[in-house]
Structure 1
Amino acid sequence: MYKKLIILLTSTAFCGLVSMLINFYQWHVKTRNTANDKERRRLYNEVKYYRTKFLNDENEIDHLKEKIRKLKAAQFTTVKERSDIDG
């Protein structure tokens, strides 16, 4: 009787230890994945920020090129009008 009781208690304690180790491993994997997800989100947001900045800069460059083109065209027509008047 006592032998069966000792075996039962020993097996219960062993199962408790195994369960505790499994739970610790699951917690470890979960926290590791959470850290990886945070790093991935940070990198994604950083790439998104620089992509948006790049696109805004490209739009600004296009706008300035268009402005320069219009100013050159206006300058050319002004020079042409002056040469027509003088000439």
Structure 2
Amino acid sequence: MNVIAFPRDLGGLPADQMQEIRDIGFTHYRRVEDDLIGQIAILRAACLILCDFAMRVPDPVAGLEAHLGHLRDETAELILAAQDS
């Protein structure tokens, strides 16, 4: 399963490019699976990415809420998929 901290409509990228982004993120996460510092670094990077995306809109806090909503939705889908397998 791949978790991604990007909004679903990331610049209107095609599905294959979105999957590539997911695969890259997943690969990096698995490389630090047993490395707490590495995991914290990835979480920090995800927070900085969300901040960058949020700062592109007139109301950054509302932008952050929207991006967090996308992240929450994708995480819920991953949980459901894991429970079904």
TM-score, normalising length: structure 1:
0.31
**Higher Rg of the two aligned structures:** 1
Q: Greater helix share, 1 or 2?
A: 1
TM-score, normalising length: structure 2:
0.32
